[in-house]
Amino acid sequence: MALPTPVLGSEPPLGLPTSLARLRDEFVGRFGGPVEGVRTFFSPGRVNMFGGHLDYNGGPVLPVAIDRGTFLAIRRAESKGRVRLATVFGNDVFEGAIDALPPTASGKWYDYPVGVIRALIASADGDSEDGPLEAGFDVLYGGNLPVGAGLSSSASITVGTAFALDCVFGLGLEPMDRVAAALDAERGYVGVQCGIMDPFAVGFAREKQVLWLDCKDESFEHLPLDFKKLSIGVMDTGVQRALARGEFNRRVAECKAAFEGLKHLEPGATVLRDIPLETVEAHASSLDPDVAKRALHVAREVKRTFRAREAFLAEDFIELGQAMTETHRSFQTHYECSCEELDVLVDAAVAQEGVFGSRLTGAGFGGCIVMLVAAGAEAEVSRVVANAFEARYGRRPPAAFFQGDAGPREVDCSA
Active-site residue numbers?
Answer: 198
Q: Could you say which of 194, 287, 385, 386 contacts ligand GLA (CB under 6 A)?
A: 194
| Residue (155 or 287) nearer to ligand GLA, CB | 155
Report the site for ligand GLA in 327-346 (rule: CB under 6 A).
none
| Residue (25 or 249) nearer to ligand GLA, CB | 249
Report the site for ligand GLA in 110-149 (rule: CB under 6 A).
none
For residue 70, the minimal CB distance to ligand GLA (Å) is 16
For residue 199, the minimal CB distance to ligand GLA (Å) is 9
Q: Could you say which of 165, 197, 210, 291 contacts ligand GLA (CB under 6 A)?
A: 197
Report the site for ligand GLA in 355-384 (rule: CB under 6 A).
362-363
| Residue (354 or 367) nearer to ligand GLA, CB | 367
CA distance 158 to 115: 8
| Residue (53 or 334) nearer to ligand GLA, CB | 53
Residue 405 binds ligand GLA (CB under 6 A): no
Q: Which residues contact 260 (CB under 8 A, 6 or more apart)?
A: none
The span of 51-59, 105-113, 117-125, 239-247 binding ligand GLA (CB under 6 A) equals 51-59
By rule CB under 6 A, what string of x and - marks binding of each residue 200-239 to ligand GLA? ----------------------------------------
CB atoms within 10 A of CB 222: 15
Residue 52 binds ligand GLA (CB under 6 A): yes
Residue 6 binds ligand GLA (CB under 6 A): no
Q: Could you say which of 40, 48, 70, 332 contacts ligand GLA (CB under 6 A)?
A: 48
Nearest to 200 by CA among 414, 408, 351, 345: 408
Residue 158 binds ligand GLA (CB under 6 A): no
Report the site for ligand GLA in 54-113 (rule: CB under 6 A).
55-56
Residue 53 binds ligand GLA (CB under 6 A): yes
The span of 47-55, 101-109, 306-314, 390-398 binding ligand GLA (CB under 6 A) equals 47-55
Report the site for ligand GLA in 240-259 (rule: CB under 6 A).
none
Phi, psi (rounded to 5 degrees) for 85: -125, 125
Strand partners, 143: 70
Residues near ligand GLA (CB under 6 A): 48, 52-53, 55-56, 152, 194-195, 197-198, 362-363
